[in-house]
Structure 1
Amino acid sequence: MKDTKYKILAYFDNQSYRKLFNEVNSDYAENLQILLHNLSLFSYDVLIIGVILYKENISNIISAIRKITQIPIIILTDASSLLCMSWKKELIYAGADCVMDINSTIEEVDLQIFSLARRNNKQKITQKQSETMINKGKLVMDHKKHKVFWNNVALHLTRQEYNFLYLLAVTPMRVYTFEQIYQLVWKDYSVGDIKNIIWCLVKRLRKKLNVVEDGAGNCIVSVRDIGYKFELNNENEQQ
């Protein structure tokens, strides 16, 4: 597996298993906060989670990850846990793609990585091709030319305004937290009063949209104490 071309993020609740990935093209998350941060900011082909100690929390962790990314997830756990079919079902239903014995050979794990990463990369290519042009109601974004139109009227946005709108519009209805928005739009760690920084950007962006059409800025929806999402209402869904 050390010759694999895929980039892996590994997270183990038992430090003794970290050695499995010392020679692999992988990043290792020391804790859950780093894990979620890396998934928000960087691109990986596969996520591997080793679960030995804190099994009761793993479904919640997987659910939290699925709100950020659809990366393939491999769960490695002890053999006794694999005998419990209800627990395996719980992990799969939460969003895991594969549940394996943590004592599986490197070759067995490698085959799963190859299979899941290959499928995921094909989906990424298809998704990337479709994301070069975004048509959401009256909003059109040409990502190649970095141009934005609302109801066929060009919008002149700053780089951060564009990146923020693109982030939300490419995944409608998905709620991005303030921390995720700051990391993905500003490409930096979230420090200081980031809520106010983002609020100022949203205020400017809504104003530019509303100049073109009254109420257009309502497509940027605030989710109280969490962040923002993109959502069209009945009026701005119409072309």
Structure 2
Amino acid sequence: MAEILIVEDNPDIHSMLTESLTKQSYQVSSAYSGTEAKMMLEMNKYDLILLDLMLPGMSGEELLQHFRQKTLTPVIVMSAKGSIESKVDVLEMGANDYVVKPFDLRELTARIQVQLNQQHGETREESQTLDIQGLVFDLDNKSLSYQDEEINLTRKEAKIIELFLKHPKKIFTKEEIYQQAWDDYYMGDDKTINVHVSNIRKKLLDQTGEEWIETVWGVGFRLDPKKIED
């Protein structure tokens, strides 16, 4: 079920939302300040965020702007500010929806469901590509590009980089890489693996000016952790 982050410093409202959403089988995480929410958003991914504006530590507006630089996860703002100007300002910052306090739980639930339905539809459409820091792999035609410039790869190179981009935090042994790219039992052919990884590294460096693949000595290879840091 979808996981929702509630960012609200009013304990009564927070408790009411948590109880209602939990009863509807949503997974609920809680933050009571903007600073706490920022930390949680940097460590975890959520399907939707319910965001109050008047928060201690970091305002909801600041948090929304910071968050929108990193992801398009739906955000529903909850605020006592009911003016048109307030709504327009927050929506222009990147909020997906805006409800005025006090709100009806049934209405909020319906708005949550609309956003999740739209998000799931977008996810299905976008699932045909892998994108990390502008390095985009098209799963349909097995092509790689950076800032819309194609990087020419052999079929086996494409299989290897696909493996790294699908699992950016995993360290892959040479055996795992060989089985993915050659679809065969690994016979300890380190030279073949090293040559292909070296070729990928060079092509990525030539195109992007940066290193993308890290050697983990005694284990294997992985995507450079700096590429997946927020």
Name the TM-score, length of structure 1 as normaliser: 0.57
Aligned-partner Cα distance in 1 for 2:205–2:11: 56
Give the structure 2 partner of residue 58 of structure 1: 60
Aligned-partner Cα distance in 2 for 1:13–1:117: 24
1:215 to 206, 210, 220: 206
Q: CA deviation at 1:107?
A: 0.2
1:146-157 correspondence runs (5 A) = 150-152=152-154, 154-155=156-157
The 3 A distance-change label for structure 1 pair 211 and 117 is closer
The 3 A distance-change label for structure 1 pair 213 and 27 is closer
Give the structure 1 partner of residue 30 of structure 2: 28
Give the structure 2 partner of residue 135 of structure 1: 144
Give the 4+ runs in structure 1 shifted more than 6 A: 156-159
Contact 1:14/1:51, CA 8 A, preserved across alignment: no
Contact 1:14/1:53, CA 8 A, preserved across alignment: no
The 3 A distance-change label for structure 1 pair 153 and 116 is closer
Aligned-partner Cα distance in 2 for 1:158–1:152: 10
Contact 1:11/1:30, CA 8 A, preserved across alignment: yes
Q: Deviations over 1:191-228 (max 9, x none)?
A: xxxxxxxxxxxxxxx9654545872451569xxxxx65
Give the structure 2 partner of residue 108 of structure 1: 107
Percent identical among aligned pairs is 12
Give the structure 1 partner of residue 13 of structure 2: 17
Give the structure 2 partner of residue 194 of structure 1: none
Aligned-partner Cα distance in 2 for 1:158–1:62: 36
Give the structure 1 partner of residue 169 of structure 2: 185
Give the structure 2 partner of residue 68 of structure 1: 70
The 3 A distance-change label for structure 1 pair 130 and 53 is closer
Aligned-partner Cα distance in 1 for 2:153–2:13: 55
Matched AA of 1:60: E
Give the structure 1 partner of residue 79 of structure 2: 77
Give the structure 1 partner of residue 46 of structure 2: 44
Q: RMSD of aligned C-alpha atoms? A: 3.8
The 3 A distance-change label for structure 1 pair 53 and 138 is closer
Aligned-partner Cα distance in 1 for 2:110–2:59: 27
The 3 A distance-change label for structure 1 pair 86 and 71 is same
Contact 1:153/1:212, CA 8 A, preserved across alignment: no
The 3 A distance-change label for structure 1 pair 37 and 124 is farther
Gaps of 5+ in 2: 131-137, 172-196, 213-225
The 3 A distance-change label for structure 1 pair 53 and 111 is same
Contact 1:29/1:35, CA 8 A, preserved across alignment: yes
Aligned-partner Cα distance in 2 for 1:61–1:37: 11
Question: Could you say which structure has the larger radius of gyration?
Answer: 2
Aligned-partner Cα distance in 1 for 2:199–2:64: 38
Q: CA deviation at 1:106?
A: 0.9
Q: CA deviation at 1:90?
A: 1.1
Gaps of 5+ in 1: 140-149, 168-183, 188-205, 222-226, 230-239
Equivalences, count: 171
Aligned-partner Cα distance in 2 for 1:210–1:119: 37
Contact 2:34/2:56, CA 8 A, preserved across alignment: no
